[in-house]
Structure 1
Amino acid sequence: MAQGDAVIVLDCGATNVRAIAVSKDGRVIAKSALPNITVAAAENPDWHEWPLSGIFARLGQCCKNIMAKLAPEQVKALAVTTFGVDGTIVDKTGTPLYSVISWKCPRTVGIQKNIHKYLDPQWLSTHSGVGHFSFNTINKLIWLKENKPELLQKAHRWLFISSLLNHQLTGKLTTDATMAGTAQLTDLHSQNFSAEILAALGLESCFFPEMVQAGGIIGQLLPESAESLGLTPGIPVISAGHDTQFAIFGSGADEGQPVLSSGTWEILMARSPQARDLSPDLFADGFTCEWDSRPGLFNPGIQWLASGVLEWIGRLFYGELTGEEKYAVMVQEAESAGQQCQGVTFNPGFMTDRHGFVAGAIEGLTIATQRGSIYRAALQALADKLKTSLGQLESTGGFKSTQLILVGGGSKNPLWNQIRADTLQLPVKILKEPETTVLGAAMFAMVGAGIYPTPEQARSAFSIEYDTVLPTIA
């Protein structure tokens, strides 16, 4: 059995729900996961909703699984982290009045297209800092206003999904600050709910419960919930919230330090004391700016399709291969192609742009072109996109990068990592521990539990390690 103080993070992801125990020196000492999926809405089978009771039940099972490896007295605190924007309206007891609409649900696409009926879209993005996404919380509230007005009128409060889970744990109605910053309902610079935005929706700021900063105590674990989790009643439940903010902090990033989360999509974000020059064109390019896990700081970020493009190349040109062999052959052939890629160039703009056009293209093909050249050209094009986005981020955040921290599945490609380092002419630091979100949430949970006085001191105690790739060309 493991010894020493620990905290437990309940991580509600879009693919899995997990319970993970982290020791005070930053070791993951136990973990358990179960699948998480949306369910079809009773009103429309094409709509996606989160089954809240099922999520809590699966988190409970995961927590019981890891408690088989822990002594109850080891667990000093509990925290919840999850995806942003989603939630629902509740009555005075905290009971949901409607289902939790998932960010995957298409029902709010039309709302986003017609947001101008309520607010000027350009002003809304620059005021809130949040980009134009149909899944934003504001669009869910407008959908309820237009389709379920009687429920919205009865509603006592709105709870984000992390707060719905925290209410189940503690009986308290609260708002995790990092979740509020994803909603497109707030004033970016005051870091509070915007009176102008809420007025346009016919809402008041009291519609959202007390805001709790990361590391703050929400309440104590209730006996009934403690039993379902296999924990001791009364342990403190600590505010965490939106997974992205805790992944950035857990990666070891300080102010002015860009972090690239590389997967199907790449999300480049930084921790910055300012967010300036927020133009409408910037938001049209996939920009958003959320609140950092520490009050007064910002997380400007840009996202674009990345590994999704490479997976398309794999399906199209390497269809006869599978698994690890496919990955190895693709990298080997790309290395053999050399930096010139046999004259092939690649445009990874596979998504519709602000004008409704798709720019994706492969150019320079001849009958002698090898598939490895196409793959390498795509890797280089995505690195060029990263360089452009980093320049935009530096301008907005008012910093100059000295290195890039890299996390996610895309960090496992050694050739791509080297191309990134060469393109940026910066060291690329690849985090060895993949559980960055959970570690970040655990750092704040330990502050709330009194184990460390600040999350920065907790992070120092965690001994975060990296593999570093240096540029090889000038």
Structure 2
Amino acid sequence: MPEDLYVIGVDYGSDSVRSVLVNALNGQELASSVYYYPRWKESKYCNAAENQFRQHPLDYIEGLEKTIKDCLQQAGSQVAAAVKGIAVDTTGSTPVAVDKSGTPLALLPGFEENPNAMFVLWKDHTGVKEAAEINEHATKFETNYLQYVGGIYSSEWFWAKLLHVLREDEKVRNACYSWVEHCDWIPFLLTGGNDVHAMKRSRCAAGHKAIWAAEFGGLPPQEFFTSLDPLLDGFNERLFTETYTSDEQAGTLSQEWADRLGLSTDVVVGVGAFDAHMGAVGGQIEPYYLSKVMGTSTCDMLIAPEKEMTGKLVKGICGQVPGSIIPGMSGLEAGQSAFGDTYAWFQRILLWPVQQLLSQSAVVDAETAKKLENELASRIIPELSKQADQLPINEESEYAIDWFNGRRTPDANQLLKGAIAGLGLGSDAPRVFRALVEGTCFGAKKIVDRFIEQGVPVKGLIGLGGVARKSPFIMQMMADVMNMPIRIHKSEQTCAIGAAMFAATAAGIYSKVEDAMAAMGPGFDAEYFPNPQRTGLYARRYLRYSALGNAIEHVSAHAKPEIVSDLQEQVER
């Protein structure tokens, strides 16, 4: 095998895109580059109060070109000729309305500033009503079309977002020919696609978010969608039947993109997938080990041999799909809608007076004020973690419910809200932060419990991503709460590295992705073990967490509008 074989992994996150250039023979990272979406950074096209989060395709295109060219420049001109493959992962479900050529409407005249013509980011919850309708509608059919997505459809997913956009925007509705996931569109773009019917759709995205299943012969029948809302009439035939795993080729670089990037048209482009799925591969996932990609949210991935999953359907998760992570294995996905976002929210609360009052200070100038703000922002979470780790804890200490962005799993419900309980006049910032961390760990334990209850063992945990690598405090608490060890993967970029592994497989350097994992994976560099002096206390506090969560869910489900209105009047008085 030649010594100069390289691949590129591209990882689209919520805030930025990162590309890595990797030696396909040993996994050595030659270069990496990050591009922060400028329009997203300005909060354009978003309205957090309405849970609307949209991203412009130009952010994606500009970032794709910039990061790959940066990597090639860092590595040297001789490397470009030896690049054999590119693969891409993205957030999801992050779909967009396209015309018949597969072009996102936001790239067409008249739609450039229309949020409904842009990618609907995974955490956009504007389709809550539509998701509820899909769940109710599915009960009317003899076939349970939601059985492979955990039995509950989420507002974070493909069909709820499509229906919401069609209902909300007549102009987009009239121009929308089809609906495309971000992870499918980028390979289509790179290969010069110009017919949406020729787009190779990801098994990962289709199975976990779009109700695709081989058992249905593809998507549910058109009648299922038309009887839900006539606006969906005709979409089945304009979508897809076949899906592809990420070890397969989407095609090769088009002449346009080869010229833009300085690469050859022989470079293979792999079929895309979601970030957590490729991240699990980059993190060297093993059967029955739960791989937790921990960032703004968590995505929890588990694989099991397909024959061992016969007759098992785990309720309330984000689906189980053969081949969605590793071909030949059933891929099971769960996760939390807010993890790092919970800590970031608390940081913003604490920074508010700094941001508001420093700018008005008569003591420091504007430049110094900005530097001080940035310094404090970088130090808040590390210092809170340090102080929280030293706190004594008992059964009555502050505790929290982690549904600050709704609940993804188990049992999706994006209408639920977070809570902090047990507060007193002695409750300070480290104590509240500690409660928030514990709440996110308890939310993670709910997922493990659901797998075990449904007959799928969890042998251990694999921690991936920024939170896993940067916070020993959170990881030790995770091990204590779960009462099982958690290994931390060496790579800081497991999603991008996983994409590189799939690029190497799609390009034919390896015959299967497991071989790429073995050759390119760097392994693990830390492991946290449960502290037996704390596991019992956490088990008791977990009961309090569960009881409060049940109460919040009951009130959310059963509170009558007139009661809510009366409470609001009392608050206003």
| TM-score scaled by length of structure 2 | 0.70
- Indicate yes or no: 2:278 matched with 1:246: yes
Question: What is the 5 A alignment of 1:224-243?
Answer: 224-243=256-275
| Contact 2:303/2:331, CA 8 A, preserved across alignment | yes
The answer as to whether partners of 1:86 and 1:101 remain within 8 angstroms in 2 is yes
Q: Which residue of 339, 342, 362 maps to 1:306? A: 339
Residue 111 of structure 1 corresponds to 130
Q: 1:361 aligns with which of 410, 420, 445?
A: 420
Shift of 1:231: 1.2
Q: Is the 8 A contact 1:402 1:427 kept in 2?
A: no
One-letter amino acid matched to 1:64: K
CA distance in 1, matches of 2:152, 2:218: 17
Whether 1:340 aligns to 2:366 is no
Partner Cα separation in structure 2 for residue 347 and residue 41 of structure 1: 31
Helix, strand or coil for the counterpart of 1:212? coil
Shift in Å, 1:21: 0.9
Structure-1 separation of matches of 2:525 and 2:176: 48
Label 1:55 to 1:329 Cα distance change in 2 as closer, same or farther (>3 A). Answer: closer
Gaps of 5+ in 2: 107-116, 194-198, 355-374, 408-412, 534-573
Distance (whole Å) between structure 1 residues aligned to residue 250 and residue 166 of structure 2: 29
Cα deviation 1:15-47 (Å, max 9, x = unaligned): 1123221111112211122222448569xxx86
Query: In structure 1, which of residues 446, 454, 464 is the aligned counterpart of residue 512 of structure 2?
Result: 454
Tell whether 2:202 aligns with 1:176: yes
Corresponding residue for 2:383? 329
Among 399, 406, 416, the alignment partner of 2:456 is 399
Larger strand fraction of residues: 1
Structure 1 residue 161 corresponds to structure 2 residue 162:
no
Contact preservation (8 Å) 2:296, 2:341: yes
Distance 1:191 1:441, change over 3 A: farther
Partner of 1:66: 71
- For 1:415 and 1:470, locate their aligned partners in 2 and report how far apart those are by CA, in whole Å: 12
- The answer for unaligned runs of 5 or more in structure 1 is none
Q: Distance in 2 between matches of 1:113 and 1:74?
A: 50
1:337 alignment partner AA: L
Paired residues for 1:8-407 under 5 Å: 8-24=8-24, 25-36=26-37, 37-38=39-40, 49-68=54-73, 69-70=75-76, 71-97=79-105, 99-103=117-121, 108-115=127-134, 119-120=138-139, 125-129=146-150, 131-143=152-164, 145-146=166-167, 157-172=178-193, 173-187=199-213, 192-195=218-221, 197-198=224-225, 200=227, 201-203=232-234, 205-209=236-240, 210-272=242-304, 273=306, 274=309, 276-279=312-315, 282=316, 287-289=317-319, 291=321, 292-295=324-327, 297-311=330-344, 313-314=346-347, 322-323=376-377, 325-340=379-394, 343-351=396-404, 358=417, 360-363=419-422, 365=424, 367=426, 371-396=429-454, 398-407=455-464
Q: Structure 1 stretch 327-336 or stretch 170-179: which is displaced more?
A: 327-336
Question: Cα deviations across residues 388-427 of structure 1 (Å, max 9, x unaligned)?
Answer: 321112334x332232111223222222222222232221
Residue 518 of structure 2 corresponds to residue 466 of structure 1: no
SS in 1 for 2:9: strand
CA distance in 2, matches of 1:243, 1:300: 12
1:216 deviates by: 0.6
- RMSD, matched Cα: 3.6
Higher helix share: 2
Structure 2 Cα separation of the partners of residues 335 and 456 of structure 1: 38
Equivalent pairs, count: 461
2:480 to 422, 425, 432: 422
Q: CA deviation at 1:14?
A: 2.4
Q: What percent of counterpart residues are identical? A: 20
